[in-house]
Amino acid sequence: MNLQKLKSQLQTEVDTAFLYENIAAIQTDSNLTKVLNSLAEIENNHANHMLQKVRAVEPNYEMPAASSRAKIQLKAGKYFGYSSIISNLSNTEREFAEIAIKDKIAKGIKTSGFEHNHLNIIEAVSQNEALNVSGGLLSKFESRHKSVGGNALRAAVLGANDGLVSNMSLVMGVAGAAVSNNTILLTGIAGLLAGAISMALGEWLSVQSSRELNQRQIDLEMEEFEVSPEEEKKELVLLYQAKGMNADEAQKLAEKAFENPDTAMDAIIAEELGIDKEELGGSAWEAAIASFVLFSIGAIIPLYPFIFINGEKAILLSLASCVIGLFGIGAAITLLTGKSLWFSGLRQVLFGLVAAAITYGIGSLIGVSLAG
């Protein structure tokens, strides 16, 4: 294994331990705090082991501090919710498990079956209702995205990106045709409103349809429960066993759930359908409003210069603002992907400018043909 890869893995171990420790610090449930701190301690031990490997090649190498990406990710959690961090930790543990298995296979060592233990633990933690990861400002903006494994941060980044790139392309296309400032403004505002309304309507329909589907599934399960409760209990036992319980534990837990109809139905809905009965997939109106706001924030960036100035200066300021916005969006994406901030930021800028150049060129050609 090359030195750079060892250092990268060491940094990942340090960052993972840092995030576990800080997520543990905000918990109100003592058991969850102990679990997360134990995971942090294990990751710190892994980091020390990895440091020894690095020092075998570079003797004076020091243990790195938590990276800027991990610190920014933690700060963003206060506003967007910590669920994105938990999701990233699950992905990291999955990668660690896969690396461990591949390494054992390559060395001819038999896998133990315990390689996925950390992944199973953090996924169990993420499903624990006592887990405090909700955050503040935007944590409930987009319930639909959270229900399918996403989070408010992803919704915010992608919503703003859609608005910025689509309206930048539209504004540059019209500006390329050399039309008046008022025409550019009118077109940009129309694009902003059309895009934001379309996004909001799409989100409302999507979330509402999901809610209706979930409610239909619940109704069907309630009918089956009323007709054949014993069959439903057997299915629940099998589900518990599939999650790793032995037959006796699964039977006892199912018996406990079926002590009364309400707890039985709650268990069936949660385990068989994977539905949160309280949310049913999130609020359609929250999703619609969030999509409208986030798209609009992105879409106003290429448009605002034309409110104050005209001509080439407005175009240049618009492009400069878009470059900053695109780089910021690309940088924010690294909180989800773990890639290099500069790589993601510059890649986003490149894609956005290519789109703007294409529409500006097309607009110029149309403007010339109309003038001629």
pLDDT single digits (tens) 93-104: 777 777 777 777
Written as six digits, the tokens of 344 are: 């993601």
Between residues 275 and 152, the one the model is more confident about: 275
Domain ranges, ordered by start, for the chain: 3-111, 148-201+285-371, 210-273
CA–CA separation, 357 vs 110, rounded Å? 55
CA–CA separation, 134 vs 342, rounded Å? 29
What was the pLDDT predicted at 354?
A: 92
Which amino acid does the sequence have at 294?
L
pLDDT at 300 over 90: yes
Going by pLDDT thresholds of 50, 70 and 90, the confidence category of residue 64 is very high
Q: What is the DSSP string of 47-64?
A: HHHHHHHHHHHSTTPPPP
Contact 161, 329 (CB under 8 A): yes
Could you give the C-alpha distances from 66 to 15, 45, 310, 353, in angstroms and in order? Answer: 5, 15, 46, 33
Going by pLDDT thresholds of 50, 70 and 90, the confidence category of residue 244 is low
- Out of 154-158, 184-188, 201-205, 209-213, the most confident range is 184-188
SS3 118: helix
pLDDT single digits (tens) 309-342: 988 899 999 999 999 999 988 887 776 666 677 8
pLDDT at 113 over 60: no
Q: Please list, in sequence order, all residues whose beta carbon lies within 8 angstroms of the beta carbon of residue 95, skipping any fewer than 6 positions away.
A: none
CA–CA separation, 98 vs 301, rounded Å? 42
What was the pLDDT predicted at 275?
A: 62
- Out of 21-25, 208-212, 317-321, 338-342, the most confident range is 317-321
Comparing 35-44, 216-225, 307-316, which segment has the lowest mean pLDDT?
Answer: 216-225
The one-character DSSP state at 2 is -
Which amino acid does the sequence have at 292?
F
pLDDT single digits (tens) 129-159: 556 665 443 333 333 334 333 345 566 677 8
Tokens 């020091």, residue? 62
What was the pLDDT predicted at 261?
A: 79
What's the mean pLDDT in 219-232?
Answer: 71
